[in-house]
Structure 1
Amino acid sequence: MDSFKRMALFAQVVQHGSLSAAARALGMSTSAVSQQLRALERDAGVPLLHRSTRRLALTDVGSRYYAACARLLDAAGEAQAELSAAREAPSGELRLSAPLGMADHIGPALGAWLREHPQLRVHLYFEDGWTDLLQARIDVALRFGQLPDSDWMAQRIGSLQRWPCAAPSWLQAHDMPDDPLQVPAGEWLGLPQMPGLAWRHSRSGEERLVPAHPRIVSQNQPAVRQLCTSGLGVAVLTCVDVAPLLDSGALLRLLPEWEVPPLPVWAVTPHRQTQPAKVKQAIGLLQAYLARVPGGNGAEAQDRERGG
């Protein structure tokens, strides 16, 4: 085995965290991987890993050497991605992560495309938490709002308007507000990260910072919508969450002359220059869908190295 293959093997061992996991990924036996590591350290003349029965740990020189090996592995991955991206038709498996509230929208966004490409398989992950994208081998994840720092690439594919809504039963017990400050602080429903909202009057430009201490908090947006529909308070919901409920009269939109900042929507992918056709096309279709929905905007696109 030449030095480049040993460098790639060493990087795989570090990334997988054990000899056995790396051996499975490489299609080798654990003993063969161990033998190649010993040969690499013998040729290097310094130890690269501290081994125990439970874990591996990089030595100081091993840490610096791994950084160079990882760059080599990334370059090889980009070369392979170039070949994959050259395919005209998407194929293989697309692993897509999205919040639970988007479960009703993936079909309308991607349905026609999936029918055109029956060879493409899709694995959908719907959850409101922050999935470990690397561990779950996610190809693209839809994320909303502010993103934490990470090594993944986030492309802004649009935004969604947010509308304050309440059920008719809530309005029977409360006056229709003309100003967001007229909503009692304890009558808000929301997400844990909702300490308050910045409001702006669409005609006068007047601004309000409305402190909100939600009476009921949930990290699950569909749950907040259901609580709102049950008449338990006022919630600021995205346009895609409430459009059918507004049409049916199950919810009513409040404060139509007041606006809150739209919610940014991001497509988060592994940090690399070239994406396979299945990923690029899926992102484009999701962006086009956001541009079609009432209150959505899919025209703005901006890349940055953030995600999660």
Structure 2
Amino acid sequence: MDDLKRYALFAEVVRSGSMSAAARHLRVSTSAVSQQLRQLEQAYGVTLLHRSTRKLSLTETGLRFAEHCRAMVEAADRAQAQLLLARDAPEGELRVAAPVGFARHIAPALASLLARYPALRLNLHVDDALIDLIDARVDLAIRGGSLPDSSWVAQPLGCVHWLLCAAPSYLARAGMPETPAELLAHQWIAVPRDSRGFVVELQGPAGERETLHLEPRVASNNQFTVQQLCAAGLGIARGVRPDFEEDLRQGRLVPVLQDWKMAPIPMFAVTPQRDGQPAKVRHAIEAIRAYLRQVPGVSA
């Protein structure tokens, strides 16, 4: 490594035309430049420069060596430019992992970024499983809820709020529940955590709390399917507001017990490393965060 530094120093001496000019450019003393060149010559048993009080002249060996040193410095400059480009301009393949329920937000969140940077490509992996970012070569994963301890870095994106909903046709048959206790008598559609059902924790307008242990009549392992079954009038479902928004707007679903709230889900952008994030990852995180600020049911 010391030799490479001396090669670069020699190239600067040749470019500058004198040791003093090279020293000023490198912000070191002239004696330090002279000493490094002498050590380089002694290490290989060659003479690179003829020194005099008025000027420097290259030996034949020094002339040939200078060309290689100049090429090395130019290659290093090009390599540095690529690093700066990766830092400042998004390019290459951006590998994103997202859960099934969130995947539909990736396209609108990153559309303007992809349009602005033609050299950027998107590879989207959709899976509710917590895949290993390193093994899957994932640059950025979207995760919700509490995260397991790991060396990965999680940056907050916002909090997504839960909602209880049902189709008007179901409520016309079963009635609109007025209290949490009445929910126990209703039919539920859910992604159960286990064979015993799932738990809904509610906080009322006065701060009171209710915990309901519910067993779904209709179960699915996919939240989007739960939403469709709910819109078909098969019962009450719990979901996040962004997923229900279109059905709410179209009147296919209506909120249930709006005064009772559930703890929101924190959303995170998870990356394998903290420092030296490439531009494609930094810009993608900011684009997703900016998009989520405009989504109903998401708070900072």
- Residues 1:206 and 1:270: Cα distance change in structure 2 (over 3 Å): same
Give the Å deviation of 1:191: 2.2
Preserved CA contact (<8 Å) 2:174 2:186: no
Contact persistence 1:164–1:253 (CA under 8 A): yes
Q: Give the alignment of 1:86-235 within 5 angstroms.
A: 87-184=87-184, 187-193=187-193, 195-202=198-205, 204-235=206-237
For the Cα contact (< 8 Å) 2:109–2:288, is it kept in 1? yes
How far did 1:154 drift? Answer: 1.6
d(CA) in 2 for partners of 1:186, 1:218:
18
For 1:189, the aligned partner's letter is I
Residue pair 2:186, 2:236 contacting (<8 A) in 1 also: no
1: CA distance, partners of 2:265 / 2:228:
20
Counting only pairs closer than 5 Å after superposition, residues 38-53 of structure 1 correspond to structure 2 as: none
Q: 1:216 to 1:85 in 2, by over 3 A?
A: farther
Cα 1:125–1:164 shift into 2, 3 Å: same
| Aligned-partner SS, 1:259 | coil
Partner Cα separation in structure 1 for residue 186 and residue 115 of structure 2: 47
C-alpha displacement of 1:130: 2.2
Question: Which amino acid letter does the alignment assign opposite residue 200 of structure 1?
Answer: Q
Per-residue Cα deviation, 1:234-271 (whole angstroms, up to 9, x for no partner): 11111110100000011111111110011111111103
Deviation at 1:86, TM superposition (A): 5.8
Aligned equivalent of 1:241: 243
Aligned to 1:271: 273
* TM-score normalised according to structure 2 size: 0.68
Evaluate the alpha carbon distance shift between residue 96 and residue 84 of structure 1 in structure 2; reply closer, same or farther with a 3 A threshold. Answer: farther
More divergent stretch after superposition (145-154 vs 93-102): 145-154
The Cα of 1:170 is off from its aligned counterpart by: 1.2
One-letter identity of the residue aligned with 2:203? R
**Structure 2, gaps ≥5 residues long:** 1-79
> For 1:117 and 1:85, how far apart are their aligned partners in 2?
12
- Greater Rg over alpha carbons, structure: 2
Gaps of 5+ in 1: 1-79, 300-308
User: CA distance change for structure 1 residues 241 and 120 in 2, over 3 Å: closer, same or farther?
Assistant: same
SS, match of residue 151 in structure 2: strand
- Give the whole-Å Cα distance in 2 for the aligned partners of 1:103 and 1:185: 34
Q: Secondary structure at the match of 1:266?
A: strand
Percent pairwise identity: 44
> What corresponds to 2:292 in structure 1?
290
Tell me the number of residue pairs that the alignment of Structure 1 and Structure 2 aligns.
Answer: 217
Over aligned residues, Cα RMSD in angstroms?
Answer: 2.0
TM-score (norm 1): 0.66
* Separation (CA, whole Å) in 1 of partners of 2:294 and 2:286: 13
Counterpart secondary structure, 2:258: coil
Q: What is the CA-CA distance between 1:85 and the residue it aligns to?
A: 7.5
Do the aligned partners of 1:189 and 1:216 also contact (CA within 8 Å) in 2? yes
CA contact (8 A) 1:84 1:276 kept: no
